[in-house]
Structure 1
Amino acid sequence: MTRKTNLSLRAQGNLSGENVMLEGVIRVNANKFDEAANPDGIINLGVAENQLMKAELRKIMGKVDHVDPKLFGYGESPAGSKQLRRYFADNIFNRYFKPQEPVRVEDIVLSAGCSSTVDNFTFCVCDEGEGILITTPFYGGFNTDIAAKSKAKVVIADLGDISPFDPAHLELLQHAVDKSTEQGIPVKAMVLSNPHNPLGRNYPLEILLEYLRFASRNRIHILFDEIYALSVFDHALTGVAKSEQPAENPFISVLSIPHLEQHCEKDLIHVAYGMSKDFCLNGFRCGALVSPWNKDMIDAMHSIAVFSWMSSTTEAMLTRLLADGKTVDEFTSTNQKRLAASYTFAVDTLRKHQIPYLPAQGGHFLWMDLRQYIPPAFKAAAAQGDRNQEYLLWRAMLNEGVYVNLGAAFSERKVGFFRLSFSVPIPMLELGLKRMLRALQLTYDPLRVSTASTTATTTTTPAVVAGNGTTLKK
């Protein structure tokens, strides 16, 4: 069916674009699992939404009068009140990110979610048709954040079989920039998620420094997406989950790196953050851009902040949450311990069923390899890049009542990788994993499905290499 053409070309372009995550999200939201009200609903292990801290949030937020008449009017500023920005500076960035120079209130612009922050950043650094560089695999939402409104282009540096944590991949960045320029798409910025989404690991210092030097050589902005900074949980792991972690590799905020000017012009360096992940508030919509060394960027973000203004109620509740540093400390510590517990349960289950995965350090998810469940008749096609078999597994899981996000959503080149979000209570996670395992076995060999098919014994097998070149545990 031909669409009506009485819309702008920008809008028509958005309507014709494909969002591979949309089908699953629509199905989940239309039939959400609820242990009491809808036990047959779909368990969401696909969206990075932390459900582990609801009781604590309810206790803290319950102290805010959400019908206070003061909240009925406009807030102090579309970029966030000075008080809330001060709490962001003092009780998040200066408290946890170890900045070499204290973050100030005037360095921060708030918006209605980190997606809005990335969208506004893109608007400020790119004209229509210009590019922002990202390496594979990457958070699929960046495609929309960068392109839907600002009409910039996502320039993909396909790493193939090289890990993004391997210095060897850096050679591919310049190739991607040069190729994009030849095609008439000048690259104006790059985005780096640290901790990595979807791989759940921290970048080592040597890679961060190389990225800074790369940005400097090409005179492009570099946006560090550090939205999972306080969801790093590997220090709380024990047992096998702890032992399989590689050498210690802590989260390093770019703000904490000394002598940044020796590696990159500081006016090119920016940080994006938000309340969705570390504070389990996806629905509250609050993002932050920190740009301590570029007043023009801050002023430009202020100039369009009115279009992404947080509600007064959201601002009041976040102000209450962040007002007390001790409350933030307790919340963060408890959250990390619960993430570690759910992660441990997830990897113990995957290990038991011999499903390869990349050990995660932070975030709400891990990267797993389900290629062994592609039916034998279709393995050759999948190895050649036929994504139909990935969709087959994905829809089979949806039909069994569990949503897991497929690799195509993250621009993963190899077919059969999935991101599993484990940040839900363990009883819900256990049921979701059972449904996932049943769906996989049904897809691979429906004639052999039985109760025993989801109770495989543990065996020791070699590690395999993921599509991104990282070593997975099996």
Structure 2
Amino acid sequence: MDTLSIRVQQRNKDMTQLLKKFLVIQKNPYDDELNPNGVCNCGVAENYLCENELISKLQSIQIWKTNYMYYPYPSGQKSLRQTLCNFFQRTFQLNYELDPDRMMISSGLTGIISLLGYLIGDMDDVFLISSPYYTAFDHDIAAFSNCAIFRCPLLEQDSGKFIFSVEIYKRGYEEAINQGLQPRGIIILNPNNPIGDIYDEQTIQPILEFAAQKKLHVIIDEIYALSIFENQKPFQSILNYKSIIDP
């Protein structure tokens, strides 16, 4: 490992314990018939319930064009971006048209978070995030940028409840500054991972206003927007907010 860059060695050190546990699980996965004494991984959210439907759909799709064999647009195939725009407009009931030229495709959320950390943050900058949060954010945001995650605890000591509000980010911002760190952005997970809470516009809007005041970027992760129980609070995408302040 000492032949690798110092940056990569540090990233590997940060992920070592997590990877060790993950590899143990991968070597001995639970299966109700083939391996009933295996390990059931409760740390990774993968939906196996729609596996058959997905396989059937993917096998039925026979779309191929000559230009798919060559270099695509750097931001992704235009047809895919347009299809996603149509999907988001229909799913989130948007009253305006999304512009595919303002969309970029990446191979998964890990790649997107790593890229945003690289584009937005300078070395040793921090991104404020409510905790608990998705474990891999620490690695993803730092992979290329050497930035770091700064935790803003949701747990309210007096009530013992998780309370999400602009106040946790205000406290986190002040704590980071007092430690000599430079906050560069705020990360919001909505619906929250791992808590599962859904945050409405009235809750998130003050956070956007605070970010604008402090000249912070805001990254909204809505990866679980379509994984909501019927009896939960309705989800509203940030794409549907009445107004979004641009810092």
Q: Same fold (TM over 0.5)?
A: yes
Pick one of 8, 12, 20 that aligns with 1:11.
8
Matched, 1:205 2:201: yes
Q: In 2 relative to 1, CA 159–40 (structure 1 residues): closer, same or farther, beyond 3 Å?
A: closer
Q: Any idea what the Cα deviations from partners look like across 1:153-210, whole Å, max 9, x if unmatched?
A: 111112342655454xx33322321232233321111110000000011013321112
Structure 2: distance between partners of 1:164 and 1:254: 22
SS at match of 1:109: coil
After TM superposition, list the pairs within 5 Å mapping 1:252-267 onto structure 2: 252-260=236-244, 264-265=245-246
Percent of matched pairs sharing the same residue: 27
Question: 8 Å contact 1:111–1:117 — kept in the other structure?
Answer: yes
| Residue 82 of structure 1: how far off its partner (Å) | 0.5
Matched, 1:61 2:58: yes
Pick one of 25, 28, 31 that aligns with 1:34.
31
Structure 2: distance between partners of 1:103 and 1:19: 41
Q: How large is the RMSD of aligned CA atoms in angstroms? A: 2.4
Question: 8 Å contact 1:196–1:202 — kept in the other structure?
Answer: yes
Q: In 2 relative to 1, CA 33–70 (structure 1 residues): closer, same or farther, beyond 3 Å?
A: farther
- 2:21 corresponds in structure 1 to 24
- 1:249 corresponds in structure 2 to 233
AA aligned opposite 1:171? E
Pick one of 95, 116, 134 that aligns with 1:139.
134
After TM superposition, list the pairs within 5 Å mapping 1:72-471 onto structure 2: 73-91=69-87, 93-161=88-156, 163-167=161-165, 170-235=166-231, 249-260=233-244, 264-265=245-246, 268=247
Structure 2: distance between partners of 1:166 and 1:114: 23
Question: 8 Å contact 1:78–1:111 — kept in the other structure?
Answer: no
Computing the radius of gyration from Cα coordinates, the structure with the larger value is 1
Q: In 2 relative to 1, CA 98–220 (structure 1 residues): closer, same or farther, beyond 3 Å?
A: farther
| Residue 69 of structure 1: how far off its partner (Å) | 9.3
| Residue 150 of structure 1: how far off its partner (Å) | 1.6
SS at match of 2:186: strand
| Residue 128 of structure 1: how far off its partner (Å) | 1.2
Question: 8 Å contact 1:100–1:258 — kept in the other structure?
Answer: no
- Structure with greater helix share of residues: 1
AA aligned opposite 1:10? R
Structure 2: distance between partners of 1:58 and 1:127: 42
Aligned positions, number = 244
Matched, 1:49 2:42: no
Bigger shift: 78-87 or 180-189?
Answer: 180-189
Structure 1: distance between partners of 2:153 and 2:191: 19
Q: In 2 relative to 1, CA 11–28 (structure 1 residues): closer, same or farther, beyond 3 Å?
A: same
Question: 8 Å contact 1:135–1:164 — kept in the other structure?
Answer: no
Q: Any idea what the Cα deviations from partners look like across 1:345-390, whole Å, max 9, x if unmatched?
A: xxxxxxxxxxxxxxxxxxxxxxxxxxxxxxxxxxxxxxxxxxxxxx
AA aligned opposite 1:179? E
AA aligned opposite 2:121? C
SS at match of 1:234: coil
Structure 2: distance between partners of 1:83 and 1:26: 38
SS at match of 2:104: strand
Unaligned runs of 5+ in 1: 236-247, 269-474
| Residue 98 of structure 1: how far off its partner (Å) | 3.2
* Greater RCO (Cα-Cα under 8 Å, separation 6 or more): 1
AA aligned opposite 2:242? P
Unaligned runs of 5+ in 2: none
Q: In 2 relative to 1, CA 165–102 (structure 1 residues): closer, same or farther, beyond 3 Å?
A: farther
SS at match of 1:110: coil
SS at match of 2:84: helix
